[in-house]
């Protein structure tokens, strides 16, 4: 297919008529398809059902340190859960706290604590500063941005590249501005582009000079075991690297089993320096007497006695990889070489980042909606929901069936081309 830009006005006009007819046909089908949020498909949830059979009323529910899991106690997690997450995140067990069912809650609470009480070693609570700011490598994860927006923290967009944020931009900003207290990072299979942080980026982030001496890296390792290819990518260990540079308190690491077992019923973890862990525990003890220890042990047993974590994640990949492949193949067939779209082809994670011509994403998402296909809102991948170029669309292919996905992609490609042709003709 030729680049659309190379077509004559008459050719574009006739293509517009074809596409409009196609779009109207889709509208007549009364579709109801959803590619908006990164949810596992039901078959993926089935993979963890055995976990529910591990305990019944006859089970001995004690942790290895003797704690009765049915009762209060064990604020920071049972030892075997700490060992599990310490291994997954390649940190020491003394550097881990086990939380509740959501890593997002841990991130929210970490910021809330910093706002009201300051961070370990910090001079004062962040709320006492004139205006706190965070760096937001974008496109990024909308819920990270929402936490900051909720607390009135200003977000500064920095460019997201294939190997992490543009570090020249990051370094220049943090060196000058004392009010920049943090940066959001999804280091492996980033949401939404699938970017993988390079060693150099990890080193520069942990070593850079920051005007704020209480600067923190919010290292959301949500997709650390979510590989889609045989290549099991390792990102340089952020805690270890920060320690080596004498900045051990800088990273806060978050992870969960949400997309490993059951989103909403998984286990979350927080990893950081021992000083940061002690500080977090102090505040956590006011918030809860302890999290769900039965669920912690259920997870540990499932992955040590029933199936290994790696084997389990391979089963997930076998279900979702064909969906990612379908997206790439459809985009290549229907949009490739037309000069109107580019997209990421990640090696893991849950999303694909799609760029359409500048100024079209909002209209494309709306058109798709009017034809029964719901996508993540345009702009959602940028702070305040504002994509400055209005071109980025996040594709979440895991939840729909292959058949639904095929239809949804056909509709989306039609909308993209239709909007692009209209733009060229205007
Ligand atoms: N971080 C990222 C990057 C995510 O994509 C998601 C889920 N979409 C989360 C965190 C949410 O994790 P949890 O369920 O542990 O709160």
The per-residue pLDDT for range 102-119, each reduced to its tens digit, is 999 999 999 999 999 999
Mean pLDDT throughout 362-367?
Answer: 98
Task: Give the pLDDT score at 24.
Answer: 97
Closest residue CA from atom 4 of ligand 1: 222
Q: Tell me, yes or no, whether 37 and 132 share the same domain.
A: no
Q: Tell me, yes or no, whether 146 and 291 share the same domain.
A: yes
For ligand 1, mutation pick of 220, 268, 381, 397 (most atoms within 8 Å of CB): 220
CA distance 141 to 193: 10
Q: Is residue 284 predicted with pLDDT exceeding 90?
A: yes
Task: Give the pLDDT score at 81.
Answer: 97
Task: Give the pLDDT score at 362.
Answer: 98
Q: Is residue 134 predicted with pLDDT exceeding 90?
A: yes
Verify whether ligand 1 is closer than 6 Å to residue 142 (CB atom).
no
Q: Tell me, yes or no, whether 40 and 142 share the same domain.
A: no
Asked if 259 and 108 count as a contact pair (C-beta separation under 8 A), the reply is no
State the CATH number of the domain containing residue 280: 3.40.640.10
Total tally of structural domains belonging to the chain: 2
The per-residue pLDDT for range 392-413, each reduced to its tens digit, is 999 999 999 999 999 999 999 9
Q: Tell me, yes or no, whether 319 and 274 share the same domain.
A: no
Taking the centre of ligand 1 as the mean of its atom positions, its distance from the CA of residue 336, in whole angstroms, is 31
For ligand 1, mutation pick of 258, 268, 320, 348 (most atoms within 8 Å of CB): 258
Task: Give the pLDDT score at 38.
Answer: 92
Q: Identify the sign of the CA torsion 177, 182, 184, 187.
A: positive
Verify whether ligand 1 is closer than 6 Å to residue 120 (CB atom).
no
Verify whether ligand 1 is closer than 6 Å to residue 106 (CB atom).
no
Tell me, yes or no, whether 55 lies in a domain: no
Taking the centre of ligand 1 as the mean of its atom positions, its distance from the CA of residue 269, in whole angstroms, is 12
Tell me, yes or no, whether 51 lies in a domain: no
CA distance 156 to 234: 28
CA distance 100 to 382: 28
pLDDT class for 37, splitting at 50, 70, 90? confident
Verify whether ligand 1 is closer than 6 Å to residue 191 (CB atom).
yes
Closest residue CA from atom 6 of ligand 1: 222
Asked if 23 and 414 count as a contact pair (C-beta separation under 8 A), the reply is yes
The per-residue pLDDT for range 291-339, each reduced to its tens digit, is 999 999 999 999 998 899 999 999 999 999 999 999 999 999 999 989 9
Tell me, yes or no, whether 50 lies in a domain: no
3-class secondary-structure state, position 186: coil
Tell me, yes or no, whether 11 lies in a domain: yes
Task: Give the pLDDT score at 399.
Answer: 96
Mean pLDDT throughout 338-349?
Answer: 96
Verify whether ligand 1 is closer than 6 Å to residue 107 (CB atom).
no
The whole domain housing 340 covers 4-44+311-425
Verify whether ligand 1 is closer than 6 Å to residue 103 (CB atom).
yes
pTM above 0.80, yes or no: yes
State the CATH number of the domain containing residue 388: 3.90.1150.10
> Domain boundary residue among 306, 333, 366?
306
Task: Give the pLDDT score at 305.
Answer: 87
The per-residue pLDDT for range 79-103, each reduced to its tens digit, is 999 999 999 999 999 999 999 999 9
Backbone angles phi, psi at 352, to 5 degrees: -130, 135
> Domain boundary residue among 287, 306, 325?
306
The per-residue pLDDT for range 5-23, each reduced to its tens digit, is 999 999 999 999 999 999 9
Q: Tell me, yes or no, whether 163 and 296 share the same domain.
A: yes
The per-residue pLDDT for range 217-259, each reduced to its tens digit, is 999 999 999 999 989 999 999 999 999 999 999 999 999 999 9
Q: Is residue 1 predicted with pLDDT exceeding 80?
A: no
Q: Is residue 2 predicted with pLDDT exceeding 60?
A: yes
Verify whether ligand 1 is closer than 6 Å to residue 257 (CB atom).
no
Tell me, yes or no, whether 161 lies in a domain: yes
Q: Tell me, yes or no, whether 20 and 136 share the same domain.
A: no
Verify whether ligand 1 is closer than 6 Å to residue 141 (CB atom).
yes
Tell me, yes or no, whether 56 lies in a domain: no
Backbone angles phi, psi at 152, to 5 degrees: 70, 25
pLDDT class for 4, splitting at 50, 70, 90? very high
Q: In sequence order, which residues have a C-beta less than 8 Å from that of residue 277 and are 6 or more positions away?
A: 76, 94, 95, 96, 97, 270
What ipTM does this complex have?
A: 0.99
Verify whether ligand 1 is closer than 6 Å to residue 186 (CB atom).
yes
Q: Tell me, yes or no, whether 199 and 249 share the same domain.
A: yes
Closest residue CA from atom 7 of ligand 1: 38
Verify whether ligand 1 is closer than 6 Å to residue 185 (CB atom).
no
Taking the centre of ligand 1 as the mean of its atom positions, its distance from the CA of residue 222, in whole angstroms, is 6
With pLDDT > 70 as the criterion, what percentage of the chain qualifies?
A: 100
Q: Tell me, yes or no, whether 111 and 244 share the same domain.
A: yes
Q: Tell me, yes or no, whether 152 and 39 share the same domain.
A: no
Task: Give the pLDDT score at 393.
Answer: 97
Tell me, yes or no, whether 53 lies in a domain: no
Verify whether ligand 1 is closer than 6 Å to residue 104 (CB atom).
yes
Encode 272-310 in three state secondary structure.
CCHHHHHHHHHHHHHHCCCCCHHHHHHHHHHHHHHCCHH
CA distance 92 to 166: 30
CA distance 321 to 142: 24
CA distance 138 to 192: 9
Q: Tell me, yes or no, whether 279 and 369 share the same domain.
A: no
The per-residue pLDDT for range 182-192, each reduced to its tens digit, is 999 999 999 99
Q: Tell me, yes or no, whether 240 and 261 share the same domain.
A: yes
Q: Tell me, yes or no, whether 84 and 153 share the same domain.
A: yes
The per-residue pLDDT for range 172-218, each reduced to its tens digit, is 999 999 999 999 999 999 999 999 999 999 999 999 999 999 999 99
For ligand 1, mutation pick of 104, 193, 259, 266 (most atoms within 8 Å of CB): 104
> Domain boundary residue among 288, 306, 324?
306
CA distance 220 to 190: 9
Tell me, yes or no, whether 52 lies in a domain: no
């Amino acid at each position: 297919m030729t680049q659309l830009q190379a077509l004559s006005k008459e050719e574009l006009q006739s293509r517009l008529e074809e596409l409009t007819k196609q779009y109207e046909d889709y509208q007549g089908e009364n579709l109801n398809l959803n590619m908006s949020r990164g949810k596992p498909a039901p078959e993926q949830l089935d993979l963890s059902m055995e976990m529910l059979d591990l305990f019944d009323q006859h089970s001995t529910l004690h942790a290895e340190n003797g704690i009765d899991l049915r009762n209060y106690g064990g604020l920071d997690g049972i030892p075997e859960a700490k060992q599990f997450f310490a291994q997954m995140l390649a940190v020491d067990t003394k550097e881990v706290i086990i939380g509740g069912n959501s890593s997002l809650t841990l991130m929210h609470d970490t910021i809330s604590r910093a706002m009201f009480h300051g961070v370990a070693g910090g001079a004062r609570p962040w709320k006492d500063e004139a205006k706190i700011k965070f760096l937001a490598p974008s496109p990024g994860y909308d819920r990270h941005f929402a936490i900051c927006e909720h607390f009135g923290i200003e977000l500064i967009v920095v460019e997201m590249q294939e190997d992490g944020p543009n570090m020249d931009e990051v370094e220049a900003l943090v060196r000058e501005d004392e009010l920049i207290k943090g940066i959001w990072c999804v280091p492996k299979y980033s949401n939404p582009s699938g970017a993988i942080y390079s060693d150099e980026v990890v080193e520069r982030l942990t070593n850079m000079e920051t005007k704020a001496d209480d600067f923190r890296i919010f290292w959301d390792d949500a997709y650390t075991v979510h590989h889609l290819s045989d290549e099991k990518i390792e990102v340089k260990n952020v805690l270890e690297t920060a320690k080596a540079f004498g900045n051990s308190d800088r990273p806060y690491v978050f992870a969960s089993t949400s997309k490993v077992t059951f989103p909403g019923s998984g286990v979350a973890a927080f990893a950081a320096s021992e000083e940061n862990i002690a500080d977090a525990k102090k505040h956590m003890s006011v918030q809860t007497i302890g999290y769900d220890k039965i669920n912690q042990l259920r997870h540990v047993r499932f992955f040590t006695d029933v199936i290994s974590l790696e084997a389990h994640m391979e089963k997930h990949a076998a279900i979702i990889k064909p969906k990612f492949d379908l997206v790439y193949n459809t985009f290549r067939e229907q949009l490739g070489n037309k000069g109107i779209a580019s997209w990421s082809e990640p090696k893991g994670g849950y999303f694909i980042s799609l760029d359409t011509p500048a100024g079209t994403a909002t209209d494309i998402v709306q058109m798709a909606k009017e034809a029964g296909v719901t996508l993540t809102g345009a702009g959602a991948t940028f702070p305040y929901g504002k994509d400055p170029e209005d071109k980025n669309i996040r594709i979440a292919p895991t939840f729909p069936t292959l058949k639904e996905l095929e239809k949804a992609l056909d509709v989306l490609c039609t909308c993209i081309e239709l909007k692009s042709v209209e733009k060229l003709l205007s």
